[in-house]
Amino acid sequence: MAIRYRYSKRKNPLNTNETQHILQAVSTGTVDLETIAYEISNECTLSPVDVHAVLMALGPKIQMHLSDGKIVDLAHLGKYKIGLKSKSVTDPSLLSKKNIEKFYLNFQPSIKMKHWLKKGVTALKEAKTN
């Protein structure tokens, strides 16, 4: 399989008179949890319902451990951890919980995924449709 891409024209945000041309990845659709559960069930002895139940339980468990300040390591997928953005101040004594502007999720792909991204991904130009 190959990742599809297309040519895209954008205005340079630093110079609005200049146009830049870039390559943009093109999505070929969405895969939902039921489809993944069905595919996994065909490769093991679990039923699609069993696999779906495990995958559904995974989300709240990840959220629970992240809220405890833990890094969640999902082996071949990668690691998740909580990050935050805060307002800066000149004096550390002025820092408090009120300085937190937002929380976000950091994802670090596994070494296996990084190698795949570096060497294993093939690209294919999107066919023009009229």
Give residue 127's pLDDT. 81
In the predicted model, is pLDDT for residue 73 greater than 90?
A: yes
Q: How far apart are CA 88 and CA 95, in angstroms?
A: 8
Q: What 8-state DSSP symbol labels residue 117?
A: I
Tell me the per-residue pLDDT of 27-49, one tens digit each, with 9 for 90 and over: 889 999 999 999 999 999 999 99
Tell me the per-residue pLDDT of 85-95, one tens digit each, with 9 for 90 and over: 999 989 899 99
